[in-house]
Amino acid sequence: MRVITATIKTKTGLHARPAAVLVNTVSKFESEVTIAKNGKEGNLKSLLDLLSLGAEQGDRITITVDGKDEDEVIAALNRCAEEHGLW
């Protein structure tokens, strides 16, 4: 299991467009990927789960990846976050 803890940088938080980018990024992989904010958790492969967290600029999130391709998922998430200035 691998974990990323980050602070949201985007002014609009994880609204529809960046949320869709994250979901598309992790949906290609087999590992289970969850995201949590303030004790509320959701499946990062579900756009509805991600949007329901209401992650805004300055919020701390925790992403947990569990599975055989977790290293690839972490690398993809880090590239995605850097490209889109998410965290």
Residues noted as catalytic: 15
* 66 dihedral zone (left: phi>0; alpha: psi -120 to 50; beta): beta
Q: Are 87 and 8 in contact (CB under 8 A)?
A: yes
